[in-house]
Amino acid sequence: MQAEYDSNNIFARILRGELPCFKVYEDADTIAFMDIMPQSDGHTLVVPKEQAVDVFGLSEAGAAAAIRATQIVARGVREAFQPDGVVISQFNGAAAGQTVPHIHFHIVPRYVDQPLRGHARQQQDMAVLKQHAERVIAALAKLKG
């Protein structure tokens, strides 16, 4: 059962430039920006530009572009934050934890001595998010070399 796409969801509005974000990466098919309610420092979202609620509604080309962008951005996040590990996740449906009805991928740095903050619980300070975005942007530039 495919959910109907809501063109006024927060990510669609970000894609149209109606809402701001701390963008770290963009190509023809995707955009990546800092999660405003991060589970850890450096938590970044990769959002396909294609209108799809979840992985089931995403085209094969959109899926390929999303994974390619997720790999690029994850490398930048890893370089910028030097975590012990990185969780890459994607939720499909409210019962699975999806809070925005537009497909997106989470890149979450993990540290052995730090528990994750709750998903979509507390908004991070905007100045901190800006600093984190700058770190990821610098790391991506370094890796691109």
Please identify every residue annotated as catalytic.
104
Pairing mode of beta strands 44-48, 30-34: antiparallel
Name 31's bridge partners. 26, 47
Kindly report the CA angle at 68 between 66 and 70, in degrees rounded to 5?
65
> Could you tell me where the beta strands, DSSP code E, fall in 22-120?
23-26, 30-34, 44-48, 85-89, 105-110
